[in-house]
Structure 1
Amino acid sequence: MSSMTSASAQGLLCIMGSGETAPTMVKVHRSLISAVEEARGSQTLYNILDTPYGFQENADELSQRAQEYFQTSLNRRFEVASLRTVSQIGTVDQDSFYDKLTRSSYVFAGPGSPTYALRVWKDLELSSLLSKVLSSRRVVTFSSAAALTLGSYTLPVYEIYKAGEDLRWESGLGLLDKLFGRKIAVVPHYNNQEGGTHDTRYCYMGERRISVLERELPEDAFILGIDEHSGVIFDLKSQSIETVGIGLITIRRAGSSLQITPGTTMPISEFLNLHREEEAKGNLSPVNVANDEDKEVVDLIQRGEPLEEELLRLQGEFEEAIDAGNFLDAAKKILELEGTLKEWETDSLMSDINKRGRAQVRSMILRLGQTSTERVFDPSETIAPYVKFILEEREKARASKNFERSDQIRDLLTSLGIEVQDSPQGTSWSLKDAIVSSTVN
C-alpha cells in the first residue's frame, strides 16, 4: 500500500530511541499494553524478537533481562520469538518464529546490531509480517538497533563507528514506507553523550558524519531522530502521533531540524509534512515550547543521562547529610541509590554507569562508617573539658614545686587510660588508641 490511509490499519507502532527496558519507559509500555488489552481482552500474547542481538554470546541473558523487566515492572509475561541466525531460515525455528510473530498482541525488539538483524530478516518479508500485526489493534515497539531497521535506510552503526568503514546507508525493512508512503531514516540515540570529549550524537555518528550521510539521502527523504529514553507512537487507528518519554523527537532534512517536545500530539499527515512546511524558515527550536512548564522539560532533557543525573543528585544529598551529621539521612540516601540501581538493572544499554553506581554505593558506605566513627564514638571530644581542667590543676602543682601532687594527678589520668606527655611546647594528652589529642600550654 502506498500509505496507511489506504488500508484499515488499527495498530500502534512505537519507535523508541533507547531506554526500552529502563524505568523511564515503563509508563509508555503500560499505556501500550492497556490499549492492546482493552481491544483484545485476555487474548494477548507478548513476544520479544531476539534477532538483533542473536550474534552475542550473552543472547540468552539479554532475553532473560528483558523478560524480567516486563514481568517486574508491568506484571506481564513476555515470550521470546527466537530467530538468531541465517542458518535457522527454512527450518522449524523459522516456522515457530512466524507463528509467534503473527499471533502476537505486542511485538518488541531492541538492542543489538541493525545490519545483523537485517541479514537474518532479509528474506523473511518481515515488514509484511509486521504490517499484518498492525492491521488490527496490536502493538509493535522497536527501539535502539531495531528502530534503525524500520525505515527505507538503515545506519550501519558498528561498521562505521567501531570498524571505521566508509559512511553509507544500508537498505532497511521499509516498514515506514509501506505504512506512510514516505522514505525515512530512523536515527535513535539522537542526543547520545557517551563520547564525552568527542561528538557521539546522532547514534554515535556526530555532526560531521551525519551531515555527510544526510546529503546521500534522496531529496524526498528525511531523518527521524529520537532522543534516548524517548519515543513516538503512531496510532494507525486515530491517524495521530504522540511523543513520549523525556527527550525530543527531531525531523531533520537538508541541514535543518525541527524538534518536538514530549507530550505533543498531532495528525500523522501533519507530522510527516512538518519539515516541508518549516524548512524554509530554518526553525531549529522546539515547535511545542509554549510555556514555562514546557521549557522546564526541555532544560531537563538537555542535561543528559537520567541515571547519571540520579547518581549525582543522591551523591550531593548524601554529602549534605554527612556534613550536617545526619547519619540516618545519609544511610537513607545509600538505600535509595541501591534501589535506583536495582530498578535500572534490566536496561539493555547501561554502558558503565551501573558499575560506577555500585562503586559509588561502596564509597558512600565507607564514608558513612568512617565519619560516624570519628564523630560519634570518639570520647576525646566528650572528656576534653574535664581533662583540661585536671591538667590545669597539675600545672598549678608543678608551678608551686608540688611535684608529688603533680605525679599523683598524672598517675590518676594514666589509670583512666589518658596518656600525658610533657614537652618544651607544653603538656599534651591522648586516649590510648584514640585519634584526637589536645595540648595544654
Structure 2
Amino acid sequence: MPEKAGVLVLMGSGETSPTMVEVHRAVVRRLGRGPRALLLDTPYAFQENAAEISARARRYFADSVGLAVEVASGAGALIDADWVFSGPGSPTYALDQWRASEVGAELRARVGSRSGATVLASAAACTVGVAAVPVYEIYKVGAEPHWREGIDLLSALGLPVVVIPHYDNTEGGTHDTRFCYLGERRLSQMERELPEEAAVLGIDEHTAVEIDLRAETVTVRGRGSMTVRRQGAQTVFPTGSVLGLDELRELAKGVTGFVPAERVAPEAEEDAPSATLAESVHQCESRFDDAAECGDSAALSEAVLQLEAEISRWAADTEEDEGGVDQARAVLRHLVVRLGRLADLRSPRDRLAPLVDPLVALRGRLRKEGAYETADAVREVLTEGGVVIEDTSQGPRWSLRS
C-alpha cells in the first residue's frame, strides 16, 4: 500500500449511486494497483435480501469504480484490507454485532494508525461517533428519543462528535425528517443529553466528508454540505470546502465563526449526474406532462426512455431514499400506461376529419345537383355515427355529438 494512503470517508447517503462514483474513484486511486477491498455487510446482514444487496453493491463497485470487492462480517478480514466499506441498514444492529465481534476495535485501530481507506456511509456512518442515532427505533417504532453508545472512531482524531447522515433529508414532505429522520424537535431534545464536550457532525445526502488522516485535512465533496452543530448553533461547509482537522476540532468545541481557508472544485466526471434519482424522476414526469399538453408524441416517448435510462444507471443503488429504484419503476409503469392512452393525441374531431370532410363535401355536391334523397342518406349515415351537420349561410358545418 502506498505510504500516503490513509483516509476516512463518511457519506450522508448515495454510497452506491452515480452521485458518489467519482468520490469512490478518487479514494481508490490513492491505494495503488490491485487493493484488497472489503465490504462489511453487517448493517443489513439480518435482512432476507442481504445477499441481493451485497451483489448489487459488488456490481456497482466493479462496474463504476473498477474495484473487485469481497464480502465479510468479522474483524479478522479487516486486518490486511486496503479498502473497507460499509453502508446501509440498521445502526443499532451494526453496533451490537461489531461490539460482539471486535469489528469496532479493528475499525478504531485502522483510523488510529492512519492507514488504508475506510469508507462508512448511511447506517454505518451513524455508528462512528461517541453516540449513535437509533433511527429505526425512534422514527419507525416510536421509541422515545435517545442515543446509543457509538463505536467512537473519531475520538482517536480528537473529535468527540456524533455523526448524523441524511442531515438534509426532506422525505417527510409535510413533516420534518431532517437530521436522519429526527426533525428539529427531537434533535434539540437529544442534544441536551450529549456529553458537554460532544458536538453534532451532520452530513447531507449524496455528500461525502473526506478526512485525510495523514495530511489532517477535511474536504467536503458531493452535492450538499457538512454541518458542525453544538446546542443549536451551527457552522455549514458547502461542497468543495477544505479545512484543517485542527480547525474542525475547534469548531466541535464550540468555537464559531470559522470559514474554510479554501474551496476546491469537485472532481468532475463526464457522465456523473447532477441530479439524484428522485430529482430525475420528477424532471421526466414534468417533461412528459409538458409533452402531453402540447401533443408532442416524440417528446412523450423521449421522457419515458430517459426515465428508463436513469433507472438503469441507479440499479445498483442499495439505498431507498425517497422511494429509491422501486418507486422510480412504479412511476415508469405509470408513464407507460399514460403513453399508451395518449398514443394518438389528436382530438376525436381531428381523427375523424379525413373521413367526415369528404362526406360532407359529397353531400353538398349532391344537393347542388338536386340529388336530395341521396344527400339525405349521407347525412343520416353521418348522424348515426355521431356527426351533427348544421347548414349555414357560409356552408355546412359539422361537429361531434357530445
- TM-score computed with the length of structure 2 as normaliser: 0.84
CA contact (8 A) 1:321 1:329 kept: yes
Alignment match, 1:391 = 363
CA contact (8 A) 2:127 2:150 kept: yes
Alignment match, 1:50 = 41
CA contact (8 A) 1:150 1:176 kept: yes
Residue 419 (1) aligns with residue 381 (2): yes
Seen in structure 2, the aligned counterparts of structure 1 residues 364 and 257 have a Cα distance that, compared at 3 Å, is same
Residue 438 (1) aligns with residue 402 (2): no
Whole-Å separation in 2 of the counterparts to 1:257 and 1:206: 15
**Residue 80 of structure 1 aligns to a residue in which SS?**
strand
* Residue in structure 1 matching 2:211, options 234, 238, 251: 234
Q: Per-residue CA shift, 1:388-410, capped at 9, x if unaligned?
A: 3223334556xxxx4xx133346
**Residue 235 of structure 2 aligns to a residue in which SS?**
strand
**Long gaps (5+) in structure 1:** 1-7, 83-96, 295-304, 429-436
Seen in structure 2, the aligned counterparts of structure 1 residues 374 and 262 have a Cα distance that, compared at 3 Å, is closer
**Long gaps (5+) in structure 2:** 267-274, 391-397
Alignment match, 2:319 = 349
CA offset at residue 422 of structure 1?
8.1
Alignment match, 1:381 = 353
* Residue in structure 2 matching 1:77, options 68, 72, 75: 68
- Return the letter of the residue paired with 1:121: W
Superposition pairs for residues 183-262 of structure 1, below 5 Å? Answer: 183-262=160-239
Q: Per-residue CA shift, 1:67-103, capped at 9, x if unaligned?
A: 1211222232211013xxxxxxxxxxxxxx3342112
Alignment match, 1:313 = 283
Whole-Å separation in 2 of the counterparts to 1:439 and 1:340: 42
Seen in structure 2, the aligned counterparts of structure 1 residues 289 and 229 have a Cα distance that, compared at 3 Å, is farther
- Return the letter of the residue paired with 2:334: S
Whole-Å separation in 2 of the counterparts to 1:379 and 1:264: 59
Whole-Å separation in 2 of the counterparts to 1:235 and 1:25: 18
CA offset at residue 213 of structure 1?
0.8
* Residue in structure 1 matching 2:338, options 364, 367, 371: 367
- Return the letter of the residue paired with 1:335: L
Q: Per-residue CA shift, 1:3-60, capped at 9, x if unaligned?
A: xxxxx995110001111111111111111111112xxx23x11111011112222211
- Return the letter of the residue paired with 1:113: S
**Residue 147 of structure 1 aligns to a residue in which SS?**
helix
**Residue 375 of structure 1 aligns to a residue in which SS?**
coil
CA contact (8 A) 1:9 1:136 kept: no
Alignment match, 1:32 = 27
- TM-score computed with the length of structure 1 as normaliser: 0.77
Q: Per-residue CA shift, 1:198-255, capped at 9, x if unaligned?
A: 2111111111110011111122110001111112000012211110111111100022
**Residue 315 of structure 2 aligns to a residue in which SS?**
coil
**Residue 223 of structure 1 aligns to a residue in which SS?**
strand
- Return the letter of the residue paired with 1:149: T
Whole-Å separation in 2 of the counterparts to 1:360 and 1:123: 42
Alignment match, 1:111 = 88
Q: Percent of aligned positions with the same letter in both sequences? A: 36
CA offset at residue 66 of structure 1?
1.1
Specify which structure has the higher proportion of helix.
1
- Return the letter of the residue paired with 1:161: Y
**Residue 420 of structure 1 aligns to a residue in which SS?**
helix
- Return the letter of the residue paired with 1:307: L
CA contact (8 A) 1:144 1:188 kept: yes
User: Which moved further from structure 2: 116-125 or 201-210?
Assistant: 116-125
- Return the letter of the residue paired with 1:336: Q
Alignment match, 1:327 = 297
Alignment match, 1:268 = 245
CA contact (8 A) 1:49 1:80 kept: yes
CA offset at residue 121 of structure 1?
1.2
For the pair shown, which has the larger CA radius of gyration, 1 or 2? 1
* Residue in structure 2 matching 1:17, options 12, 19, 24: 12
RMSD: 3.2
Superposition pairs for residues 160-199 of structure 1, below 5 Å? Answer: 160-178=138-156, 180-199=157-176
Seen in structure 2, the aligned counterparts of structure 1 residues 57 and 379 have a Cα distance that, compared at 3 Å, is closer
